[in-house]
Amino acid sequence: MLSPELRDAIVEHAREASPNEACGLIAGREGVPTRIIRCANTHPQPTTRYLIDPREQLRAFQDMDEKGEELVAIYHSHPASQPYPSPTDRAESHYPDVVYLLVSLRSEAPEVRAFRIQDDVLREVSLLQTGSGRSSDPRS
Amino acid sequence: MTVTVRLPGALRDATGGQTKVEANGRTLADVITDIDRRHPGFRGRVLDESGRIRTYVNVYIGEDDARSKGGTDAPVPEGSEVMVIPAMAGGA
């Protein structure tokens, strides 16, 4: 489950990067997210596309190995569109075992949803911890 | 020459679910061919029809990007770790 603190950190990253798409990784242990790793969006059209810097990917994998962590999720933001995997997101997904988390900033209240993309089959998953003083389910 | 090849992401499908395999070879092409011998189809997942590293795949030999070291001709020193990392990309 994604804690409110990690969720907020991802939303903060998305807001800082806007109008560009933010992107990064969520590391964890035994499937439980423990921290986020902000990554640079190196795509030449960063307002509508993202590409995580490959060398940052390498460093992140090495760092997770050293810490005994695993890759739990890949996150990115949609500054002006819904938090749902676009055709591009689906076509360029190469990690069927991890969760793809999307943050939308299209409305004042950020929306966060999580999916698995396996063999072009899309399935929404529950990664988000609710409660803890939050007024609403962030998936709604 | 024995090296360790790590495969995060979808490429593990091509090695029967293994995320780490041992392989032999003096160059990256040798290493890929060696894995493909045991896991047919692996080569096609990493290299395109012309034998180049696919655009959405990044290969590191230690800290070096294989593309900057000759692509599939890049030397792979004994004991080195090769990381084959699919790109993380998409867009709204």
A51 and B88 within 8 Å at the Cβ level: the answer is yes
Which residue of A48, A58, A64 to mutate against B (max B Cβ within 10 Å)? A58
pLDDT tier at A135, thresholds 50, 70, 90? very low
- Name the nearest CA neighbour of A83 among A105, A64, A54: A105
Q: Which residues of B touch A78 (CB under 8 A)?
A: 92
pTM for the model: 0.87
Q: In this structure, what are the phi and psi dihedrals at residue B7, rounded to the nearest 5 degrees?
A: -135, 75
Q: What is the pLDDT of residue A129?
A: 55
**Would you state the pLDDT for residue A128?**
63
For chain B, which residues score pLDDT lower than 50? none
> Is the confidence at residue A137, as pLDDT, over 70?
no
* pLDDT, position A36: 97
A140 CB burial (10 A radius; 0-12, 13-18, 19+): exposed
Cα distance between residue B3 and residue B61, in whole Å: 10
pLDDT digits (tens, 9 = 90+) for A92-108: 999 988 999 999 999 99
Instruction: Please tell me the distance from the alpha carbon of residue B85 to that of residue B82, in angstroms, as a whole number.
Output: 10
DSSP letter, residue B68: G
Q: What angle do CA A112, A118, A121 make, to 5 degrees?
A: 80
pLDDT of A132 over the 50 cut: no
- pLDDT confidence band for A140 (50 / 70 / 90): very low
Residue A73 has pLDDT above 60, yes or no: yes
- CATH of span B2-86: 3.10.20.30
State whether A80 and B8 contact (CB < 8 Å). Answer: no
CB contact, 8 Å: B64 with chain A? no
The ranges assigned to domains in chain B are 2-86
Closest CA to A100 of A108, A92, B46: A92
Instruction: Kindly provide the ipTM of the predicted complex, given to two decimals.
Output: 0.85
Structural domains in chain A? 4-125 (3.40.140.10)
